[in-house]
Structure 1
Amino acid sequence: MALRGLVRAHGGEHGEAGGTLDHPRAYELVAGLGFLGRRREVFLRLAALAGVRPGARILDVGCGTGYLTRILAPVVDGEGEVVGLDPSEPMIDYARRRAPANCTYVVAGGRDTGLPDASFDVVVSSLAVHHMPVNDRAPAFAEMFRVLRPGGRLLIAEFRPPSNRLTAALTGHMTGPAMRHDPKDLLGTLIPDAGFKVDDEGDLPVLLSYVRAHKPAR
């Protein structure tokens, strides 16, 4: 099953209107295939890039099935906490059933989390921004800025289409319009416009790019 078949669009073309992933088991299968057996390796790299330390509080925006939260949980150990946020109730239910003791999950969209100001040390988001409706993306980054403590870190990872034109066309056909964008075009100036200072950006194996930033200390 193609990834595009798993997405419930919120009116119109998913590339603009956004959508939710509501089939967690199928998503896990497709994600495993899509990362060519290297999914855990790639997400361990993301955890390292996030600079997570024991005792930290982490928010994962668009956590889906909770895959990244389960990788981060042992890093923050029993003193820390990982909170996963996703608008899809089926995905959150799946994550909760597999949650380590220091993980909690909230059904909510990125633009209105309901979480306290400056309550997290790190905010991460992987393969989620392209699912957000275009008009929700700037408010979602403003919300990430609000819940992050001064000096806290942000890590955004997004799909990077293949450089080969034929492979890119095939990938776009499988994944749909939301994942055809270059990450730089998708993110644009959303991160600095929200108040973050960009630290660095780069590529990861198996079609991912990342941006690291921080919230300036007052």
Structure 2
Amino acid sequence: MGLGKLLHDHAEHADGGGTIDRPRAYEIFASIGFLGGRRAAFTRVATAARPRPGDRVLDVGCGTGYLSRILAPVVTPGGHVTGVDPSPAMIGYATRHAPENCAYVLGEGQRLPFPDGSFDLVVSSLAVHHMPAGDRPEALRQMFRVLRPGGRLLVAEFRPPAHRLARHVVGALSGPAMRHDPRDLLGSMIPDAGFQVESEGELPYLLYHVRARRP
């Protein structure tokens, strides 16, 4: 049985989207999947996002709030992190573990429930591939909308191992949604949404990132 079937209430296809609804199981599998390096991996993601004290941050597809909790102390004093996720179970878990300057909201990336220009920084880690393929461009447009002019974006996604056997093992464990090449997954969606891409490339622990800015 693949990881996707263990964590989801329904089968997930590579482009069909889906939610993860078992937060405790997800936390266990995430720790195993990163081979003890989860904290280091997401610290690198947070560093790549370049958060600043006082930033208003939105974490799209926040899941259990793991990245939000890493960002929260970095944006003090005066900063705040908001997480949004379509899974009530994940939002409930994140809320129970939230530091003082974090809050979590139920919602979808393609329909972000926030006013225009609400945030200085938007981050999204390992979330785009969970969205239905047809909704991904709108999710990027929504991220653009809720950022203030000059606001920053950081999207991080999983990149399959280069070795063929390792790719097969990862695919067998995680299901089709994690078999993508992140360059194919993201394509031109970020610049098409209006962002100016500043950098992109690989991060440790099989991650890939794109950093961009709203003009």
Which residue of structure 2 lines up, in the alignment, with residue 7 of structure 1? 8
Q: Deviations over 1:173-195 (max 9, x none)?
A: 11111110100000011101000
Partner SS, residue 36 of structure 1 = coil
Q: Deviations over 1:155-209 (max 9, x none)?
A: 0000100000011011111111111010000001110100001111111111111
Which residue of structure 1 lines up, in the alignment, with residue 58 of structure 2? 59
The 5-angstrom pairing of residues 30-109 of structure 1 reads: 30-109=29-108
Give the whole-Å Cα distance in 1 for the aligned partners of 2:2 and 2:155: 24
Q: Deviations over 1:79-115 (max 9, x none)?
A: 1110000000000000000001110101000011120
The 5-angstrom pairing of residues 103-182 of structure 1 reads: 103-182=102-181
1:118–1:149 contact (8 Å) kept in structure 2: yes
Aligned residues: 214
1:2–1:30 contact (8 Å) kept in structure 2: no
Give the whole-Å Cα distance in 2 for the aligned partners of 1:111 and 1:188: 17
1:36–1:206 contact (8 Å) kept in structure 2: no
Q: Deviations over 1:42-71 (max 9, x none)?
A: 111111111101110000000000000000
- Please tell me the residue identity of whatever aligns with 1:58: V
Give the whole-Å Cα distance in 1 for the aligned partners of 2:144 and 2:42: 23
Give the whole-Å Cα distance in 1 for the aligned partners of 2:50 and 2:165: 36
Partner SS, residue 20 of structure 1 = coil
- Please tell me the residue identity of whatever aligns with 1:174: L
1:148–1:215 contact (8 Å) kept in structure 2: yes
In structure 1, the gaps of 5 or more residues are none
Aligned residues: CA RMSD? 1.2
The TM-score normalised by the length of structure 2 is 0.97
Alignment of 1:194 onto 2:197: no
2:141–2:193 contact (8 Å) kept in structure 1: yes
Partner SS, residue 116 of structure 1 = coil
Partner SS, residue 116 of structure 2 = coil
Q: Deviations over 1:30-50 (max 9, x none)?
A: 000111111111111111111
Q: How far 1:13 sits from its partner (Å)?
A: 5.0
Partner SS, residue 19 of structure 1 = coil
2:16–2:133 contact (8 Å) kept in structure 1: yes
Give the whole-Å Cα distance in 1 for the aligned partners of 2:41 and 2:12: 29
Give the whole-Å Cα distance in 2 for the aligned partners of 1:47 and 1:114: 23
Which residue of structure 1 lines up, in the alignment, with residue 23 of structure 2? 24
Give the whole-Å Cα distance in 2 for the aligned partners of 1:214 and 1:127: 19
Partner SS, residue 62 of structure 2 = coil
Give the whole-Å Cα distance in 1 for the aligned partners of 2:157 and 2:175: 15
Give the whole-Å Cα distance in 2 for the aligned partners of 1:39 and 1:174: 17
2:4–2:12 contact (8 Å) kept in structure 1: no
Between the two proteins, what is the percent identity of the paired residues? 62
Give the whole-Å Cα distance in 2 for the aligned partners of 1:78 and 1:92: 24
Alignment of 1:203 onto 2:202: yes
